[in-house]
Amino acid sequence: MIAKNKCRVGTRSSQLALWQTHHVIEALQAHFPETEFEVVEMSTKGDRILDQALSAIGDKGLFTRDLEEAMHSGAIDFAVHSLKDMPSVLPDGLGLTAMLKREDPRDALLAKNNVKRVEDLPAKAIVGTSSLRRKAQLLSKRPDLDVRDLRGNVQTRVRKFEEGPFDAAILAGAGLHRMAMEDYISDYLPLDHFIPAVGQGIVVVESRLDDELMLEMLAQINDKEAQTCSAAERAFMRRLEGGCQVPIGALASIEGEGLSLRGFLGRVDGSEAIIKEKQGAVAEAETLGQALAEDMLAGSGQAILNDIRKG
C-alpha cells in the first residue's frame, strides 16, 4: 500500500493529549513502518484560558480551533483529540477520519476518607468538577452537595483535589487510565444515572477531507464500533445544540445488529434530569440519535433548552 513518507501530527501539549497522540502513531506505525511521524505540539485557547469555567467562555472550538487552522495551512497532516472535546459541527473541509477502540467511558469518583459512592458522601460535601453535566447529575441525586469548579489537565485536577478543600472529584476514568492514575479512583459512577459525555473514552483523528492518501492510511486504524456509537451520540448532541453550555450526555452500545442509545438532559441545579433510551439499527446510527433527541424535546426537554438559552 502506498503511504506518505512523512506525517506531521498536531496535538495539544498536555500529557493526556501526548499519550493519545503516541497511541495513534503507534497504531499507524504498525501498518506503515516506513512512514516518519513528527509530533507538533500546539497550545489552544482552552489551554491558555485557565481562570474561567469552560461553560462561561462559551466557545465550542476552544480546544480544537488552533489545530484546525494548522491543518488548513498544511502545517500538520492530522490532529489527535479526545472525541469528547470535539464540537458537534466541524469546520468545512475537515472530518473525524479515524477513531480508536473506545476505552471505559465511565466517569470516576475520587473521594477522601474511604468513600466509595456518591450516596456515601457526607452532607454538603464539596465535590470538584467544572462540567455542567456532572454537576447536574450529582445534584439531581444529591441536592445538598457543594459542587465547585475544578479545572486544569488531569494531573492538575487530581493535585487540586488532594490539596484543596474537596471531599470528592469527578474525572473521566479513561483519562486516569491513560495517565496511569487509576489508583486514585474510589469507584466508577453507575451508567444508569451518570451518563457520560458524548464521545467519552474515544480518541479521534481529525484531518482534511481532500487528503485522500491520509484518509486511506487512517482507515487502517479506524474502529467501526466506536465510529457507529459516536455517530449516534453526536447526532443526539447536534439536535440538542449541546456544546458545553447544555448539561447533556449520551452513550451508545452495540449488541449484534442492534444499536442502543441512552441519553441524558438535565438542569444544572439538578431539579430535573431526563434519561431516555432507544434502540435502532447499527446502519442508522444518526437517525437513532436524532430520534432520541426528539423524544426528549417532546417531553420536558424543550423547556430546559429554552431556559438555558434565556439564562
Active site residues: 85
The C-alpha cell at 255 is 449488541
Q: Which stretch binds ligand PBG (CB under 6 A): 31-39, 170-178, 221-229, 258-266?
A: 170-178
Alpha carbons 150 and 128: distance in angstroms, whole number: 5
Rounded to whole angstroms, the Cα distance separating 225 from 211 reads: 24
Considering only 7, 99, 100, 171, the residue that binds ligand PBG (CB under 6 A) is 171
Any contact of residue 87 with ligand PBG (CB under 6 A)?
A: no
Q: Is 14 in the site for ligand PBG (CB under 6 A)?
A: no
Q: Which stretch binds ligand PBG (CB under 6 A): 91-99, 171-179, 181-189, 248-256?
A: 171-179
| 210-218 own/partner pairs: CB under 8 Å, 24+ apart | 210/93, 211/77, 213/2, 213/3, 213/4, 214/4, 214/7, 214/77, 214/78, 214/97, 215/97, 216/1, 216/2, 217/3, 217/4, 217/7, 217/28, 217/31, 217/32, 217/35, 218/28, 218/78, 218/97, 218/98
Q: Does residue number 278 form part of the binding site for ligand PBG (CB under 6 A)?
A: no
- Does position 201 interact with ligand PBG (CB under 6 A)? The reply is yes
**84 near ligand PBG, judged by CB under 6 A:** yes
Grid coordinates representing 222 are: 479506524
Smaller CB distance to ligand PBG: residue 201 or 266? Answer: 201
Residue whose CB is less far from ligand PBG, 77 or 85: 85
Could you say whether residue 175 binds ligand PBG (CB under 6 A)?
yes
3-state secondary structure of 171: strand
Task: Tell me the closest approach of the beta carbon of residue 209 to ligand PBG, in angstroms.
Answer: 23
> Is 36 or 182 the residue whose CB approaches ligand PBG more closely?
182
Using CB under 6 A as the criterion, what x/- string covers residues 128-167 for binding ligand PBG?
--------------------------x-------------
Please say which residue, 138 or 171, places its beta carbon nearer to ligand PBG: 171
Q: How far is the CB of 105 from ligand PBG (least distance, A)?
A: 7
Helix, strand, or coil (residue 114): coil
- Least spacing, CB of residue 6 vs ligand PBG, in Å: 27
For the packed helices 224-239 and 285-296, what is the interaxial angle rounded to 10 degrees? 30
| Rounded-to-integer distance, Cα 55 and Cα 243, Å | 8
Instruction: Tell me: does residue 172 bind ligand PBG (CB under 6 A).
Output: yes
Q: How many CA atoms lie within 13 A of 86 on its CB side?
A: 31
Q: Tell me which stretch binds ligand PBG (CB under 6 A): 117-125, 168-176, 253-261, 291-299.
A: 168-176
Size of the site for ligand PBG (CB under 6 A): 10
CA angle 54, 275, 111 (to 5 degrees): 55
Q: Is 82 in the site for ligand PBG (CB under 6 A)?
A: yes
The DSSP symbol for 299 reads I
Grid cell, residue 22, equals 503516541
Neighbours of 31 (CB within 10 A): 14
Contact positions vs ligand PBG (CB under 6 A): 82, 84-85, 154, 171-172, 174-175, 200-201
